Structure 1
Amino acid sequence: MSSTEWSILAVDTGSGETLVESAPELLLPTASVGKLFLLHHLAELLDGDPSLARQLLRKGTVDPVADSGLWQHLDVPALTVADCARLVGAVSDNLATNVLLDHVGLAPVQAVAERLAPGGSMLNDSVRDVRRPEDPPMLSVGCAADWVTYFRTPHPTVLSWLAPSTDLSMVASAFGLDPLAHNEQDRDLQVWSKTGTDEGVRAEVGLLDVGGRRAAYAVICRFQGEVVPVLAQMRAYGTLLLETLRDG
Structure 2
Amino acid sequence: MGYLGEFIGTFVLMIFGAGVGASVNLEGAYAKASAKAGWIMIALGWGLAVMLGVYTAAYFGAPGHLNPAVTIAFAAGGIISWKIVPGYILAQIVGAFLGASVVALHFYPHFKKTKSDQGNTVAIFATVPAIDNKLFNFISEVVATFAFILCLLTLGNFAEGLKPLVVGLLIVAIGFSLGSTTGYAINPARDFGPRLAYAVLPIPNKGSANWDYSWVPILGPIIGGLLAVFLVKIV
Under a length normalisation based on structure 2, what TM-score does the superposition of the two structures give? 0.31
Q: Which has the higher contact order (CA 8 A, sep 6+)?
A: 2
**Which is strand-richer, 1 or 2?**
1
Under a length normalisation based on structure 1, what TM-score does the superposition of the two structures give? 0.30
**Which is helix-richer, 1 or 2?**
2
